Amino acid sequence: MIIDCHGHVSAPAELWAYKAKLVSHRGAHGRGKVNVTDEQILAALNKPEICAHGHLEYLDKVKTDMQLISPRPFQLMHSEKPGKLVHWFAEECHNIIYRQCQMFPNKFIGIASLPQVAGAPIEGVFPELERCIKQLGFKGCLLNPDPFENGVEEAPPLGDRYWYPLYEKLCELDVPAHIHGTSSRSERVNYSLHLINEETAAVLGLLNSAVFDDFPDLKVVVSHGGGAIPYQLGRFDAPSLRRGGTRLRDKLQLLYFDTVLYTQDALELLVKTVGPERLLFGAECPGVGSIEDPETGVLCDDLKPNVDRIEWLSEADKKMIFEDNARKVFNIT
Amino acid sequence: MIIDCHGHVSAPAELWAYKAKLVSHRGAHGRGKVNVTDEQILAALNKPEICAHGHLEYLDKVKTDMQLISPRPFQLMHSEKPGKLVHWFAEECHNIIYRQCQMFPNKFIGIASLPQVAGAPIEGVFPELERCIKQLGFKGCLLNPDPFENGVEEAPPLGDRYWYPLYEKLCELDVPAHIHGTSSRSERVNYSLHLINEETAAVLGLLNSAVFDDFPDLKVVVSHGGGAIPYQLGRFDAPSLRRGGTRLRDKLQLLYFDTVLYTQDALELLVKTVGPERLLFGAECPGVGSIEDPETGVLCDDLKPNVDRIEWLSEADKKMIFEDNARKVFNIT
Amino acid sequence: MIIDCHGHVSAPAELWAYKAKLVSHRGAHGRGKVNVTDEQILAALNKPEICAHGHLEYLDKVKTDMQLISPRPFQLMHSEKPGKLVHWFAEECHNIIYRQCQMFPNKFIGIASLPQVAGAPIEGVFPELERCIKQLGFKGCLLNPDPFENGVEEAPPLGDRYWYPLYEKLCELDVPAHIHGTSSRSERVNYSLHLINEETAAVLGLLNSAVFDDFPDLKVVVSHGGGAIPYQLGRFDAPSLRRGGTRLRDKLQLLYFDTVLYTQDALELLVKTVGPERLLFGAECPGVGSIEDPETGVLCDDLKPNVDRIEWLSEADKKMIFEDNARKVFNIT
Amino acid sequence: MIIDCHGHVSAPAELWAYKAKLVSHRGAHGRGKVNVTDEQILAALNKPEICAHGHLEYLDKVKTDMQLISPRPFQLMHSEKPGKLVHWFAEECHNIIYRQCQMFPNKFIGIASLPQVAGAPIEGVFPELERCIKQLGFKGCLLNPDPFENGVEEAPPLGDRYWYPLYEKLCELDVPAHIHGTSSRSERVNYSLHLINEETAAVLGLLNSAVFDDFPDLKVVVSHGGGAIPYQLGRFDAPSLRRGGTRLRDKLQLLYFDTVLYTQDALELLVKTVGPERLLFGAECPGVGSIEDPETGVLCDDLKPNVDRIEWLSEADKKMIFEDNARKVFNIT
Amino acid sequence: MIIDCHGHVSAPAELWAYKAKLVSHRGAHGRGKVNVTDEQILAALNKPEICAHGHLEYLDKVKTDMQLISPRPFQLMHSEKPGKLVHWFAEECHNIIYRQCQMFPNKFIGIASLPQVAGAPIEGVFPELERCIKQLGFKGCLLNPDPFENGVEEAPPLGDRYWYPLYEKLCELDVPAHIHGTSSRSERVNYSLHLINEETAAVLGLLNSAVFDDFPDLKVVVSHGGGAIPYQLGRFDAPSLRRGGTRLRDKLQLLYFDTVLYTQDALELLVKTVGPERLLFGAECPGVGSIEDPETGVLCDDLKPNVDRIEWLSEADKKMIFEDNARKVFNIT
Amino acid sequence: MIIDCHGHVSAPAELWAYKAKLVSHRGAHGRGKVNVTDEQILAALNKPEICAHGHLEYLDKVKTDMQLISPRPFQLMHSEKPGKLVHWFAEECHNIIYRQCQMFPNKFIGIASLPQVAGAPIEGVFPELERCIKQLGFKGCLLNPDPFENGVEEAPPLGDRYWYPLYEKLCELDVPAHIHGTSSRSERVNYSLHLINEETAAVLGLLNSAVFDDFPDLKVVVSHGGGAIPYQLGRFDAPSLRRGGTRLRDKLQLLYFDTVLYTQDALELLVKTVGPERLLFGAECPGVGSIEDPETGVLCDDLKPNVDRIEWLSEADKKMIFEDNARKVFNIT
């Protein structure tokens, strides 16, 4: 069984139109809501938008049996003001996801975003997180390390006490945080690169701090194969050798990583670096990689064959990656 | 014949979804475009969204024969960065409007927005303005006096030399500017009030300057009955009496005003203040006022009866308001 | 009897010179005080400064029997720093007003300004407010919704909890707040327009919030006929129809308005909109409107005839406007 | 004959009230002007305001025969916006000074302020400077090294090319610049200390640059005995010894200094430091020092006896200080 | 022969003490210089500072025959003000490097840093670049894509016209730019991670622009194995497939990369990604990686064996990496 | 016996190199430490760096028997971020000073700097202050009135409650504060002038407040002869005469001053102003003044003869200045 732990919702245009209105009226029209029928929601899952295939068809094509779906992160606008816009939009995203999960209970599992308002106390996300977990049956949440979205101000690093109430809440709810940035206001670092940079910083921020000493049960999954960490591991490991204590390389075992990388070589480096026990299959289909490589005729994000191709992984290893780890981390029964 | 000079496009959700994406990827996905069929565009005109009726049905209901349609101003995001987002979105809006005009050539006439990028030279709007007028057959444009959208920085007042190249271009193209703000970043002055405030400031900025001395052929229509000007006329007129020269009250004859006011009393005050020669019928249907007054059962923006009801206006006066002035100002043949 | 509820002090130049010094030494010279004799104060009341007549003469001319006088609002410099300048100057203004009231106990009634320091807690105004009401016998106060004076920062809207301690204090003292902005740091919106914009925003901020639910005894008078509200009423009423609950139009009955408008048409619109029960005669003499209309030979702010001219008002209505409402709201016995 | 080269105008309160209005309406009332009669101007010269004596009486008392009078510097508000306020107020100050000079042609000589607008090109001061020198017969000008008035931004040091057009103009007009700061926006450094700090910085900025190489004919008088320079001379001289070239101590001979110091010891230090050839008598009467020392019964700013008391100065030296230097530097015939 | 193309100077403490003084006196002490003898310079090369061995000994130990040495980038303080500090310090660094090259002409080759002053035109670096290349015999320069050092402001991306004069100058001088960030003012992204992030952004900024179309002869070496590019290649390649034209993967052949990675797996990924033709041996000894791995007993930055260990590279390939490419790119004869 | 109460440490270059690294890695390398041998520390005391003589030799030359040594203030970087840099560097400075005091227990006495982090609560300096006093045996501390180092933000004046916890701690420890600024970020006021300006402001801030009423036992020494105070005394004394109460001139007796002035005249003015009871000999050798006056052949900072030369001081007076006052204020037994 193939579980893609890193998927994002394909929603009707009305959801995004709702967002466009929010950032236009800035709350003056009130909360409102997204009015879409189940047919529209289904149509969105069948519409070829990001690529030549609809979402459902695409999952079949790449042989994904189950997918964890969260809001499209780059749309989450955590840096917009007033903060209620962030909340309202996240709630509507979650409602759509919930309805898709209801429609396809064996295929989709909901993952919440946190309505993080740049500069606001982290506790503000709790009500919606609890609604998602307790009422909507979601199994985890995205955690954005930079709600300022690469703006002028800077969020505290993930090792900072600012985040502790959230870690406590996640442990209490027994759900993992999936590290995933949102947008970027910078003109030189676009959002796609920003995500990668944030993941690298998140790994360092968490592992060069006392977070896992203080929250030994905290579960964190790092997106996109951990940013630059596996490739630049020596660079960040060396200082930990100087400092003594557990070396950074070994502390990676405190985290989980997903496989959202689009080359075989990168995937293999990741597996070698963190091992199958800490790896969750993720393909983010459809998404950035949903394009055919003209040389091979293969979709860039058809990642199952990439895993299969690794000869030195046992079948049990692969099963861990494809299914077991996701079930364990996200409590999927 | 009834010409509503102040209408905004009812577009498919895909247009707004396009905008939502732009402000999320900030240009990283490239220009892209809005992929919608004529059927979708038509559906948008028939969909009850802002009110209980679709756009086309609503026009019939309020007996509007022809409507000048421009982008929804509050969506224009002039203060977003980078500036290319502003341009791309305006262009897509105009393309949708153009297609609606092609579909209903006797009903719709296109009005451009100017892709004003806050802080950038005004000349940057010329190419798209010229495309709209010369290639798409549009007949005028919206002018936003505050591209910073009530932000921290402040645009020069409309009497400032900053705007002169635009006035020159408008005269050259022989098209009017319709004063209309966009959004507001303020938490205490929402966009709807900001529009009103900007219209008042626009009238004062234009009339307390040399603009009409320098551009005697410039045509400017002020939205929503001129903001607070007719009501607070004495307040602004009195200083002009002190200064000498033409009094402000009389300088109002240099401008045009539309009738987008939702009470009979306000409309009458406007007509008394500026006279039928400077008044263009506008109802902005559907829009803010598309709601039924529960006491009267009448739609707030069903404004034709309000004009008809003014006994002291001659039929010729009313024809000027309903049709002739719009034809003259917007060069509608 | 004619009570003008909206008058501002005509003070000796020494008061303004005191202010000029404050903003020059920024407190370095200490508190100081304004040294003027009663003769100088009297002379100021007889000096033709704003117009061709002295203050006292002007009141006679326009047949005002009693006037509520407060500091000249545009001088109050609420955005200057350090905050003690704001306090010192307000206190000196009040002292002058107090002396004028002592001189003319049947003609003048004192109204305080609040020494609002931009960005400081509102409680800071209480000592001077209490001195004015309890010791100087003043009967109300001006409330500036924007102590930042149209600067870069923004005050909370009037419905915000920031203002609640003030509302509580006003109820406790049983005195009304008269909404009146001060100056404007903007180059495109001068102070005179800023006042109007602030009044519109104040009405919306108060009525679209829970203020009058929480403070049912709070008395608020809105200056200058309510900014743009009566003219743009439909625009702001329509959204309240969508939201349900009491419509904005009807909520206007929670407020009071003064008649400081300089055209007959505007006055009539105001009376129609809010009714005589909520209207207080105000003429702000001498002030902005103290100039003769060359066409009519009438002073723009000679407003009593404007009220008299409204045929559809009963004598009792007019008495309410001219006298009774002021007595009730301001507790004038 | 005693010439006090450093005096400031004693003007009617109406001048300061004019300023207070300017910073309140920010230009909205237009240019306006100060309406005062010659009687009022004369009264201002006879009114005991800063001290127990009127200006004219005070000059007699301290035996000053002739005084150079400029605007009160701390009132000049160079950091206010818009810049036209700075200009208008400076012009009105100069007009009052001009009228006093006309009234007392043998007693008063006018000195202009420069209407320096913080952040604007220095050339903006030329028209008013030329008006003062060529039309009003003034003999010099104040130069404010910090038009930002100790604000957030910082002006270029006096050795910067920013100031060169001014130096060129001063040479062309053959008038000296009298270094004198204005106000201070700081809460920890009040304007009085700011003046001193600026004078020290001005001396260093001028002498540690090429200004006097490039403008050998430039005449600069430093106020208040040169700030901290004579006292801290060794501190600033030592680095010049390291650098080689002319030592700072000797470069002081490129400047002039006034004697506005209120202790005998300080005055003697100044004379020793710069010598009588570079010293101009200044007493700034009435001003900061116009208060009686209770121990001696002498006015702090009665400075003539202080000079007289210096035994090691010859009569010719004293005449230079009292009269000749002022005549030479300010071209007083 | 082994050429390490990426080395940084081991300088006497006096050089860094010079910098510490510069940022303390901000230029007040003047230019000054670093006074060190050849003995001190030699001692610095023999002093175990970063690791247990001196620089020269370390090179022997890791069998490096020749090393290109540039200033320690994290010390370059490009964001400090005034800009002359940046220049002075870079010049002193270069002088030390020059002296080391003179002492060991067969071992060391100088590489300049560019004295990039954040916010200043790039042309300001030309004089020192030319001095280094033409007079000191240096063979290349470091290029910092972010002179603001992760501060509030943002430099233009490397594809921006801002950088074109530099590219033109580099082509004219026929020297390569070695991409290398400096420090980071961020508390969440330290300088070491910032370097990596900047390298990723630099690759994208250069290859997603017209730079190599406009400067086909420009030579650029990317530090530290290209940041995250080889690992995240698929992520950045996929969008280029959508856009059409040359895919990003292939455009990597327009750049050179160094091997400064401290794990065998990462190195192999790099070689696979860019091929031996575009790869230059770099070990940055001594530096971040100069620490012994306790498990292997091998120094992390002893990278020659890592290259040797790659079986699928031919000897000619390895010679290219170790020597030939560096000779070609840096014109080492 | 001659005690120089105002000396700064001559440290090995490694101390400053440590600082240079701190501001480069901003904490990423961790705390680290300065590795220097006693020989290096001794060498630093013998190395002619600031002038032609080493520190120890210089003290002999100018006949100083004992010197209080503190960190070089201009290096203390109180405005750098993160704040731990400030702490780490101060600690290292103190450690070096401590070792020098251990080496020369009869010559050197340690004075701490306070690790003041701009914008942080003053209590943050207590641990290091206590370590210095209680563990290292230091006898006092420098107090920087402007930890923002002439930056955009402004510290509270010394009379503000912000500083009260420090005053309380100083009284508790019974050690004096020696007022001494650090660096200056301004381009027009360099650090050397900034020190002087700050001393003037410090005197005024302390004496025009309630500090000595609230802390009668507080001991404060003002550097460099009190900035501009003795020279400009009349200017600051006069307002205190107006205000009444103790005049500023007399309040100077609440403070102590050191003699770090490099001219005889200035020194004499200081002695006259504050009297020998409040004066501590200070020469800051070696320092700014360690340069020979070419005209006299005397070192500018050889200040003992300057004191000796004052004929009107008794031997007892001189002993107070040279020794007794320092012993009393700094508790030197």
Segment E31-88, tens digit of pLDDT: 999 999 999 999 999 999 888 899 999 999 999 999 999 999 999 999 999 999 999 9
Residue type, C152: V
In this structure, what token pair is assigned to residue B215? 């551009």
Q: Do F74 and E24 touch (CB under 8 A)?
A: yes
CB within 8 Å of F39: residues ≥ 6 apart: none
* Catalytic positions of D, written as ranges: 284
Residue A181 clears pLDDT 90, i.e. is over it = yes
Q: State the pLDDT at residue A68.
A: 98
H helix or E strand, kind and range, residue F306? helix F304-308
CB–CB of E98/E121 below 8 Å? no
Q: Do A192 and B21 touch (CB under 8 A)?
A: no
Q: State the pLDDT at residue F51.
A: 84
Question: Which residue in the set C187, C205, C241 is minimally distant from B293, CB to CB?
Answer: C241
CB–CB of A109/A330 below 8 Å? yes
> Taking Cα atoms as reference points, which of D26, D161, D187 lies closest to residue B154?
D26
How many C-beta neighbours within 10 Å does residue D327 have? 16
User: With bands split at pLDDT 50, 70 and 90, how would you rate the model's confidence at E264?
Assistant: very high
pLDDT mean across residues, chain F: 97
Which residues in chain A have their CB less than 8 angstroms from residue B83's CB? none
Checking phi first, is residue C300 left (phi over 0); if not, alpha (psi -120 to 50) or beta?
alpha
> Taking Cα atoms as reference points, which of B30, E236, E251 lies closest to residue A192?
E236
Q: What is the mean pLDDT of residues C145-157?
A: 96
User: With bands split at pLDDT 50, 70 and 90, how would you rate the model's confidence at E309?
Assistant: very high
Q: Do C200 and B196 touch (CB under 8 A)?
A: yes
Q: How far is residue C91's CA from residue C217's CA, in Å, rounded to a whole number? A: 27
Question: Which residue in the set F155, F187, F262 is minimally distant from D234, CB to CB?
Answer: F262
Residue A50 clears pLDDT 90, i.e. is over it = no
Question: Which residue in the set B193, B233, B289 is minimally distant from C266, CB to CB?
Answer: B233
How many C-beta neighbours within 10 Å does residue E107 have? 17
User: With bands split at pLDDT 50, 70 and 90, how would you rate the model's confidence at B324?
Assistant: very high
Q: Which chain D residue is nearest to residue C44, measuring alpha carbons? A: D14
Q: Evaluate whether ipTM surpasses 0.95.
A: yes
Q: How far is residue F77's CA from residue F181's CA, in Å, rounded to a whole number? A: 10
Residue F52 clears pLDDT 90, i.e. is over it = no
Instruction: Spot the catalytic one: A198, A284, A292, A311.
Output: A284
Beta bridge partner(s), residue E66: E3
Which residues in chain C have their CB less than 8 angstroms from residue D74's CB? 24-25
**F interface test, pick of D231, D233, D270 with most F CB neighbours within 10 Å:** D231
Q: Which chain C residue is nearest to residue B263, measuring alpha carbons? A: C234
Residue E25 clears pLDDT 90, i.e. is over it = yes
DSSP track, B44-113: HHH---SSSS-HHHHHHHTT--EEEEE--GGG--TT-SSHHHHHHHHHHHHHHHHHHHHHSTTTEEE-EE
Residue B49 clears pLDDT 90, i.e. is over it = no
Per-residue CA distances from B139 to A192, A331, C14 (Å): 41, 61, 58
Q: Do C201 and B187 touch (CB under 8 A)?
A: no
Predicted confidence (pLDDT) per residue in B245-258, tens digit? 999 999 999 999 99
Q: Which chain A residue is nearest to residue E146, measuring alpha carbons? A: A188
Percent of chain A with pLDDT strictly greater than 70: 100
Nearest C-alpha of chain E: how many angstroms from A270?
A: 9
- Global pTM reads 0.96
With H, G, I as helix, E, B as strand and everything else as coil, classify residue C269: helix
CB within 8 Å of F289: residues ≥ 6 apart: D234, D235, D238, F260, F262, F283, F299, F300, F301
Q: Do C235 and B192 touch (CB under 8 A)?
A: yes
Residue F50 clears pLDDT 90, i.e. is over it = no
Q: Which chain C residue is nearest to residue D50, measuring alpha carbons? A: C29
Instruction: Spot the catalytic one: B284, B292, B295, B311.
Output: B284
Please state whether at least 3 CB pairs lie below 8 Å between chains D and F. Answer: yes
Q: How far is residue B169's CA from residue B141's CA, in Å, rounded to a whole number? A: 12
In this structure, what token pair is assigned to residue C9? 């002090």
Predicted confidence (pLDDT) per residue in B159-200, tens digit? 999 999 999 999 999 999 999 999 999 989 999 999 999 999
Q: State the pLDDT at residue F165.
A: 98
Q: Do E190 and F28 touch (CB under 8 A)?
A: yes
Nearest C-alpha of chain B: how many angstroms from A156?
A: 23
> Taking Cα atoms as reference points, which of F57, F65, F329 lies closest to residue F179?
F329
Checking phi first, is residue E213 left (phi over 0); if not, alpha (psi -120 to 50) or beta?
alpha
Residue B317 clears pLDDT 90, i.e. is over it = yes
Q: State the pLDDT at residue A75.
A: 98
User: With bands split at pLDDT 50, 70 and 90, how would you rate the model's confidence at F117?
Assistant: very high
Which residues in chain A have their CB less than 8 angstroms from residue E292's CB? 241
Which residues in chain B have their CB less than 8 angstroms from residue C269's CB? 231, 265-266, 269
Question: Which residue in the set A16, A21, A190 is minimally distant from B26, CB to CB?
Answer: A190
Predicted confidence (pLDDT) per residue in A58-73, tens digit? 999 999 999 999 999 9
- Could you report the average pLDDT of every consecutive run of 10 residues in chain D (333 residues)? 98 98 97 97 94 94 98 98 98 98 98 98 98 98 98 96 98 98 96 98 98 98 98 97 94 98 98 98 96 95 97 98 98 95
Residue A52 clears pLDDT 90, i.e. is over it = no
Q: Do D24 and C72 touch (CB under 8 A)?
A: yes
Q: State the pLDDT at residue F123.
A: 98
Residue F204 clears pLDDT 90, i.e. is over it = yes
Question: Which residue in the set F157, F237, F265 is minimally distant from D269, CB to CB?
Answer: F265
Predicted confidence (pLDDT) per residue in B274-305, tens digit? 999 999 999 999 999 999 999 999 999 999 99
In this structure, what token pair is assigned to residue D201? 């910085």
Question: Which residue in the set C17, C26, C77 is minimally distant from D183, CB to CB?
Answer: C26
Question: Tokens 């600024």 belong to which residue?
Answer: F181
Cα E55 → chain centroid: 17
With H, G, I as helix, E, B as strand and everything else as coil, classify residue C39: helix
Which residues in chain F have their CB less than 8 angstroms from residue E191's CB? 24-26, 28
Nearest C-alpha of chain A: how many angstroms from B76?
A: 8
Q: State the pLDDT at residue A42.
A: 98
Please state whether at least 3 CB pairs lie below 8 Å between chains B and C. Answer: yes
Q: State the pLDDT at residue E52.
A: 86
The beta strands (E) that lie in C122-185 are given as: 141-143, 177-179
Q: Do C154 and B187 touch (CB under 8 A)?
A: yes
H helix or E strand, kind and range, residue B279? strand B279-280
Residue A199 clears pLDDT 90, i.e. is over it = yes
Q: State the pLDDT at residue F227.
A: 98
Q: Do E233 and A204 touch (CB under 8 A)?
A: no
Q: Do B152 and C154 touch (CB under 8 A)?
A: no
Residue C52 clears pLDDT 90, i.e. is over it = no
> Which sign, positive or negative, has the C-alpha torsion B117, B120, B121, B126?
negative
Please state whether at least 3 CB pairs lie below 8 Å between chains F and B. Answer: no
Q: State the pLDDT at residue B79.
A: 98
Which residues in chain D have their CB less than 8 angstroms from residue C75's CB? 20-21, 24
Please state whether at least 3 CB pairs lie below 8 Å between chains C and D. Answer: yes
Q: Do A262 and E197 touch (CB under 8 A)?
A: no
Q: Dihedrals φ, ψ of D207, to 5°?
A: -80, -25
pLDDT mean across residues, chain B: 97
Starting from the edge strand earliest in sequence, which strands make up the sheet with A108-110, in order? A3-8, A66-70, A108-110
Q: Do A24 and B191 touch (CB under 8 A)?
A: yes
In this structure, what token pair is assigned to residue F150? 């002439």
Residue C192 clears pLDDT 90, i.e. is over it = yes
Which residues in chain C have their CB less than 8 angstroms from residue D190's CB? 25-28
pLDDT mean across residues, chain C: 97
> Taking Cα atoms as reference points, which of B324, B183, B314, B161 lies closest to residue B256?
B324
